[in-house]
């Protein structure tokens, strides 16, 4: 299971701290928690340029355009 939310925020996310504690207790029993920090590998080629809403919704071209 993966989550971008820290464990401390699960109570607010679910809206019930005791229920979130019980859920996390069952998830984390005998589990290894791996915390990954740093820049996203998926965004490594963006060179710090934030994506605009238009860029996020623009479909990728199926092929390169052909000039005539």
Q: For residue 10, give every residue at least 6 positions away whose Cβ sits within 8 Å of its Cβ, in sequence order, or none.
A: 20, 23, 24
Q: Is 62 part of any domain?
A: no
Model pTM? 0.49
Q: Is 43 part of any domain?
A: no
Q: Is the pLDDT of residue 16 over 90?
A: yes
Q: Is 34 part of any domain?
A: yes
Q: Is 57 part of any domain?
A: no
How many domains does the chain divide into? 1
Q: Does residue 54 sit in helix, strand or coil?
A: helix
Q: Is 2 part of any domain?
A: yes
Q: Is 48 part of any domain?
A: no
Q: Is 65 part of any domain?
A: no
Per-residue pLDDT tens digits for 17-54: 999 999 999 989 998 888 888 877 777 777 656 655 55
With bands split at pLDDT 50, 70 and 90, how would you rate the model's confidence at 5?
confident
Domain that holds residue 5: 1-38
Alpha-carbon dihedral sign for residues 22, 27, 30, 34:
negative
């Amino acid at each position: 299971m993966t989550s971008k939310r820290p464990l401390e925020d699960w109570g607010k996310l679910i809206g019930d701290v005791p229920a979130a504690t019980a859920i996390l207790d069952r998830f984390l029993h005998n589990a290894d928690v791996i915390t990954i920090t740093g820049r996203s590998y998926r965004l490594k080629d963006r060179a710090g340029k934030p994506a605009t809403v238009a860029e996020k919704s623009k479909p990728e071209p199926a092929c390169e355009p052909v000039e005539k």
